[in-house]
């Protein structure tokens, strides 16, 4: 049984400029006290042909995490366009939000991202080169996340070897964009709003306000 379940993720400030930060409002439930923090990471896929061009936009540690339903906004800087192949700056790519406990990933949420040039251009000659990045808009397909859940050993964080990850298709995972469902008093003794501010790393989230 997973001790932490991501029950909602909302993409904020979407669509927006390519240069603006990514913002995700994340809601998750914690069923039992944890001995360690949860690591959240945002990764931008720079090229479908070369995984070495993936950019980790931010890695943050959140904890200690109180038992109950918790909510916070995860913000990550825009990717560095100068290390993305010019032919891959525009068009469709992917951004990933992952959650790990003791270095073991237990949840991954992926979104398609479409980058477009706002000024009109001749499709035969393509957009200007170099691109004016102030004119590139980013739209996350927020209603079609792909959610993968990995079984892990919550005692030491190792990923389970005998159980396959649960991979939800786009339609099954649409609930990630919906309001948080009623989780029942037995599993959610308290609701907590995590407001860590500009720096999430090493944040103490005890004694938080009720939602």
pLDDT of the residue at 116: 97
Please give the Cα distance from 184 to 193 (Å, whole number): 18
Q: What is the mean pLDDT of the chain?
A: 81
How many CA atoms lie less than 13 Å away from 66 in the CB half-sphere?
Answer: 19
Mean pLDDT for the stretch of residues 115-143: 93
Task: Tell whether the model's pLDDT for residue 113 goes beyond 50.
Answer: yes
- 153 in Cβ contact with 159 (< 8 Å): yes
The mean pLDDT of 33-42, rounded to a whole number, is: 96
> To the nearest whole percent, how much of the chain has pLDDT over 90?
67
Contact 146, 109 (CB under 8 A): yes
pLDDT at 195 over 70: no
Q: How many Å apart are CA 48 and CA 116, to the nearest integer?
A: 17
Q: Which residue has the higher pLDDT, 23 or 205?
A: 23
Does residue 66 contact residue 30 with C-beta atoms inside 8 Å? Answer: yes
User: What residues form DSSP beta bridges with 114?
Assistant: 92, 139
């Amino acid at each position: 049984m997973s001790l932490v379940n991501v029950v909602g993720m909302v993409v904020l400030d979407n669509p927006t400029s390519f240069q603006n930060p990514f913002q995700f409002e994340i809601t998750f439930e914690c069923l039992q006290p944890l001995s360690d923090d949860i690591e959240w990471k945002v990764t931008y896929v720079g090229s479908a042909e070369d995984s070495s061009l993936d950019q980790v936009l931010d890695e943050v540690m959140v904890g200690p995490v109180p038992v109950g339903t918790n909510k916070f906004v995860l913000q990550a800087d825009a990717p560095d366009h100068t290390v993305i192949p010019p032919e891959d700056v525009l068009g469709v790519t992917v951004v990933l939000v992952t959650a790990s406990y003791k270095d073991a990933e237990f949840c991954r949420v992926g979104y398609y991202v479409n980058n477009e040039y706002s000024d009109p251009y001749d499709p035969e000659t393509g957009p200007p080169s170099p691109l004016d990045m102030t004119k590139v808009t980013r739209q996350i397909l927020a209603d079609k996340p792909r959610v993968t859940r990995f079984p892990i050993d919550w005692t030491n964080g190792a990923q389970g070897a005998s159980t396959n990850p649960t991979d939800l298709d786009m339609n099954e995972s649409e609930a990630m964009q919906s309001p948080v469902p009623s989780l029942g008093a037995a599993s959610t003794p308290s609701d907590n709003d995590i407001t860590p501010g500009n720096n999430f790393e090493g944040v103490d989230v005890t004694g938080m306000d009720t939602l």
